[in-house]
């Protein structure tokens, strides 16, 4: 049984080998070392996702068709959480996607389009992966493919399966569990949500979002194991509601300086009613009537979620806030203060 290692122990191996990005389709019989035969029809199951760019979200990404009737699994992000995600199939057809379900613990989302008879990939447990095995990641990195152009593929070497302790932007990363570490360079815009294939072309993981190692401050090339994808698609272990984290020092509570409007009965959206003069929010440029839709890349659906996210912050942090101001999406950075 392979010994479990920490992220820090394998940080050196992550940076030691450069992986090449290459066109997905190759002419038959040109090279004996081509990965094209291993990929098979997987490319026909990879879709491009487009939506609103907000905060540090680039507004584009990748997804994998997991059913013939148009269900797509991808990573959880503002791209799918905000309205209007557009899905482009490998043949160039375009659809409006509807968010069906999310799992914040697994950082996964399920999107549905109205289509039938589509090719799809069935995830396979990654238990057979061993260090040194070849892996391939497919995705729409840097928005290279916008229509029926093929997505890109990156070939690498699997390193280790290990528990994850990392952060995304200023906050701890919500994902809890093992990840698959490899040297294919997938920590790039647009890669998240693409499939990771093993040397037999099987769907063994889903490329994760860009995060950094807590121990080494380096970006990690990783995938969420397909066992988590299988459990998510099967509806297992619905997560409990988020709860505010207790402040490290009760005398230093985080302070933003925003008062939200108390409009609505059951659902109170995070509309700004008042910005206290001289507060961190005022200095960042937050205005009355702004709708706060994300803090540090986390979606804010209502006033309760706003309170929970602010409670997680630490005084002195500089945190991106994503706002809807009229018809525009506005991004500001707030330096969190100490509650008076």
Q: How far is residue 85's CA from residue 228's CA, in Å, rounded to a whole number?
A: 24
Instruction: State the residue for tokens 């029926």.
Output: 148
pTM above the 0.85 mark? no
Q: For residue 281, what are the contacts with CB-CB under 8 A and spacing of at least 6?
A: 256, 257, 258, 272, 275, 334
Domain with CATH 2.30.42.10 in the chain: 254-338
Q: How far is CA 292 from CA 45, 275, 299, 304, 314, in A?
A: 35, 13, 9, 12, 19
Split the chain (340 residues) into runs of 10 and give each run's mean pLDDT. Answer: 39 34 46 68 91 67 94 84 79 92 87 94 92 90 80 88 62 68 80 92 91 64 92 70 46 87 68 93 94 84 86 88 88 91
How many other C-beta atoms are found inside a 10 Å radius of the C-beta of residue 274? 13
Q: Does domain 254-338 have CATH number 3.40.920.10?
A: no
CATH architecture of 12-233: Beta Barrel (2.40)
Look at residue 287 in the predicted model and tell me its pLDDT: 94
User: Where do the CATH 2.40.10.120 domains begin and end in the chain?
Assistant: 12-233
């Amino acid at each position: 049984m392979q010994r479990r290692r920490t992220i820090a122990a394998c940080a050196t191996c992550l940076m030691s080998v450069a992986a090449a990005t290459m066109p997905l389709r190759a002419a038959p019989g040109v090279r004996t070392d081509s990965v094209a035969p291993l990929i098979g029809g997987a490319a026909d199951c990879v879709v491009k996702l487009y939506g609103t760019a907000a905060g540090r979200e680039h507004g584009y990404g990748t997804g994998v068709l997991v059913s013939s009737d148009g269900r797509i699994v991808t990573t959880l992000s503002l791209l799918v959480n905000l309205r209007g995600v557009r899905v482009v199939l490998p043949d160039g057809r375009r659809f409006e996607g509807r968010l069906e379900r999310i799992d914040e613990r697994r950082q996964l989302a399920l999107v549905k389009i109205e289509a039938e008879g589509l090719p799809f990939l069935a995830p396979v447990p990654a238990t057979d992966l061993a260090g040194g095995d070849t892996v391939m990641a497919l995705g729409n990195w840097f928005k290279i493919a916008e229509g029926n152009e093929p997505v890109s593929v990156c070939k690498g070497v699997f390193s280790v399966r290990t528990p994850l302790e990392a952060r995304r932007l200023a906050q701890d990363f919500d994902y809890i569990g093992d990840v698959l570490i490899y040297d294919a360079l997938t920590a790039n815009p647009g890669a998240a949500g693409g499939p990771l294939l093993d040397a037999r072309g099987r769907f063994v993981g889903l490329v994760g979002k860009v995060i950094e190692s807590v121990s080494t401050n380096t970006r990690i090339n990783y995938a969420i194991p397909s066992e988590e994808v299988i459990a998510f698609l099967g509806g297992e272990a619905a997560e409990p509601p988020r709860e505010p984290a207790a402040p490290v020092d009760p005398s230093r509570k985080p302070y933003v300086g925003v008062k939200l409007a108390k409009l609505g009965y059951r659902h109170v959206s995070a509309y700004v009613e008042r910005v206290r003069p001289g507060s961190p929010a005022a200095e960042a440029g937050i205005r009355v009537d702004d709708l706060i839709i994300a803090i540090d890349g986390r979606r804010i659906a209502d006033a309760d979620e706003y309170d929970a996210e602010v409670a997680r912050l630490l005084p002195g942090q500089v945190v991106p806030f994503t706002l809807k101001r009229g018809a525009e999406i506005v991004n500001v950075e707030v330096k969190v203060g100490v509650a008076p």
